[in-house]
Amino acid sequence: MTITTTKSAYRQGVLAGLPFVFVIIPFATLFGVIATEAGLNVFETLAFSVVVIAGAAQLTALQLLQENAPTAIVLVSALAVNLRMAMYSASLTPYLGAAPLWQRALCAYLMVDQSYVVAMTRFESDPGMGVPQRVAYFLGAVTSCVPLWYVFSLVGALVGAQIPEALALDFAIPIAFLAMIAPMFRTVAHVVAAFVAVLVSLLATQIPYSLGLIVAGLAGMMAGAQTELWLERRGRIHD
């Protein structure tokens, strides 16, 4: 199904992004609560979410700040958690690179795990999509997520420590990511990539500053690429 107008592309992006509303709300609230507990006021908490929009990196920074880590270490560690955004940026470039600079800058600011996954899944399965439609679809995918990220960071900061631990908000993100990963297993190469990445990430937990994640990600990407090459070669022999 090819999208013909940018308006309908935007609408479809909004629809595809909607499931993540159920994830963003608890996660943003959790960040607000933790930030308040760390001593941030309401304005600081909201500013943190608006300026950085990266939950995992924000939580990493907060944790290290509370441990009185040196400022440089806080910055480097939190950015290391966000290094995957550079990989996302690279993998979106073939699809969005031809858009005007201001649109690419806007997409860069709004690049989060959810918008990236939703958009990539669509771009890969619909190669006929035009660049303006892709930008519209990408912006649609974040329309519900990003404002809710701001609003519920604020809500979390306002309700503070009144949220009981029994709500297990910590597990909202793992559940969301697992749900997003499942439909991505389209080929054997994708499964191999995920499997190798998981294995390496479990072995690499001792590597400091979350760099184990990057090592695991690179290992998974190489495994996927090599499997793809191997499958292609085998396919050619059988032709």
**Rule CB under 8 A: which of 100-119 touch another protein?**
101, 104-105, 107-109, 111, 113, 116-117
Residue written as token pair 């190669």: 127
Residue written as token pair 């990407």: 221
Q: Rounded to whole angstroms, how far apart are CA atoms 158 and 152?
A: 9
Residue 169 in contact with residue 59, Cβ under 8 Å? no
Query: Which is nearer to another protein, 22 or 147 (by Cβ)?
Result: 22
**Minimum CB–partner distance for residue 6 and another protein (Å):** 18
Q: Rounded to whole angstroms, how far apart are CA atoms 72 and 114?
A: 28
Query: Which is nearer to another protein, 9 or 35 (by Cβ)?
Result: 35
Residue 119 in contact with residue 3, Cβ under 8 Å? no
Query: Which is nearer to another protein, 86 or 161 (by Cβ)?
Result: 86
Q: Which burial class, exposed, middle or buried, applies to 147 when counting CB atoms under 10 A from its CB (0-12, 13-18, 19+)?
A: exposed
Per CB under 8 A, contacts with another protein among 125-164 are none
8 binding another protein? (CB under 8 A): no
Per CB under 8 A, contacts with another protein among 25-64 are 38-40, 44, 47-48, 51-54, 56-58, 61
Query: Which is nearer to another protein, 15 or 159 (by Cβ)?
Result: 15
Contact pattern from residue 178 through residue 207 relative to another protein, giving x for each residue in contact according to CB under 8 A and a dash for the rest: xxxxxxxx---xx--xx-xxx-xxx--x--
DSSP for 154-172?
Answer: HHHHHHGGGS-GGG-GGGH
Secondary structure string (H, E, C) spanning 95-119: HHCCCCHHHHHHHHHCCCHHHHHHH
Query: Which is nearer to another protein, 159 or 222 (by Cβ)?
Result: 222
Secondary structure of residue 148 in the 3-state scheme: helix
Report the residue from 88, 137, 149, 152 that binds another protein according to the rule CB under 8 A. 88
174 binding another protein? (CB under 8 A): yes
Per CB under 8 A, contacts with another protein among 220-239 are 220-225, 228-229
Report the residue from 37, 125, 159, 170 that binds another protein according to the rule CB under 8 A. 170
166 binding another protein? (CB under 8 A): yes
User: What contacts 239, CB < 8 A, 6 or more positions away?
Assistant: none
First to last CA, the chain: 30
Query: Which is nearer to another protein, 72 or 237 (by Cβ)?
Result: 72
Secondary structure of residue 186 in the 3-state scheme: coil
Per CB under 8 A, contacts with another protein among 63-82 are 65-66, 71, 74-75, 78-79, 82
